[in-house]
Amino acid sequence: MPRTKANGIELEYETFGDPQNPTLLLVMGLGMQLLGWRRDLCEGFAARGFQVVRYDNRDSGLSDFLDQGPQPDLRALIGGDPTSAPYLVRDLSLDALGLLDALGIERAHIAGVSMGGMIAQQVAIDQPGRLLSLSSIMSMPGDGSSGQPTPEAMALLLSPRPQGREAAIERGMHTWRVLGSPDYPEAESSLRAHVIEAYERSSRSDGFGRQLAAILASPDRTPGLREVTLPTLVLHGTADPLIQCSGGEATAAAVPGAELLLLPGMGHNLPEQLWPVIIEAVTANAAKAG
> Euclidean distance between the first and final Cα of the chain, in Å?
32
* Number of CB atoms found within 10 A of residue 229's CB: 10
Provide the residue-wise pLDDT of the chain in tens; the chain has 290 residues.
799 999 999 999 999 999 999 999 999 999 999 999 999 999 999 999 999 999 999 999 999 999 988 899 988 998 999 999 999 999 999 999 999 999 999 999 999 999 999 999 999 999 999 999 999 999 999 999 999 999 999 999 888 888 899 999 999 999 999 999 999 999 999 999 999 999 999 999 999 999 999 999 999 999 999 999 999 999 999 999 999 999 999 999 999 999 999 999 999 999 999 999 999 999 999 999 98
Where residue 52 sits, what CATH number does that domain have?
Answer: 3.40.50.1820
Domain range for residue 169? 3-287
Predicted pLDDT of residue 160: 86
Domain count, the chain: 1
Predicted pLDDT of residue 31: 95
Predicted pLDDT of residue 166: 96
With a CB cutoff of 8 Å and minimum separation 6, the contacts of 4 are 10, 11, 13, 99, 102, 103
Predicted pLDDT of residue 178: 96
